Homo-oligomer: A and B are copies of this chain.
Amino acid sequence: MKVLVLRLGHRRIRDQRTTSHCGLVARAFGANEMIYSGEKDDNLEKSIKNVVENWGGPFEIKYEQNWKKFIKNWNGKIIHLTMYGLPFQRFMNKIKKCKDLLIVIGSEKIPTEVYHSSDWNIAISNQPHSEVAALSVFLDKLFEGKELQKKFEKVKIKIIPQKSGKNVEKTDNTIS
């Protein structure tokens, strides 16, 4: 299964950290790529690429000015995560069987056509919270927790889990 995340309406200053968190969550929770639209943001791209460079991949971040065209050309299913949608629990069995998934998340106002272009408008609870939370919980349900054991490739830095404190291992992996 190929899973892409489409983050709509990025604003360089206001969304800097939340979009960055979305990208990190997309990578850590098993998605293959994050595409973002709105304002192009070189610092955002650099910071995500830096994480991939050090902590491993594959994972890509790409800018897409014309998200409508991107959605139109997308060959798989489209899932829009929205607090206004139906409970995700109803559709997870179907969704898990899909081949390619595009998960659309917004920042502020979402254009009406996103609702109409999506195969599923689904809610991770109908309460106001966070696109970062919605994305992480959705991916965790999609991959049934297995994503949390994902092995990354070309890893330069990794954590040796500790009961208390920090232990970071640097591997010389420049050749691989």
Contacts and interface: CB of A to CB of B under 8 A. Distances in A.
A121 interface: yes
A112 B165 contact: yes
A71 interface: no
A85 B129 contact: no
Interface in A12-66: 14-15, 17-18, 21, 24-25, 27-29, 51, 55
Instruction: Classify chain A: how many residues form its interface, as a range.
Output: 35 or more
Contacts of A162: 84-86, 121
A84 B136 contact: no
A96 to B, nearest CB: 16
A130 B123 CA distance: 20
Interface in A155-170: 158-159, 161-168
Contact of A28 (B24, B55, B127): B127
A28 B132 contact: no
Nearest to A122: B161
Given A14-B17, A17-B14, A18-B18, A86 B161 contact: yes
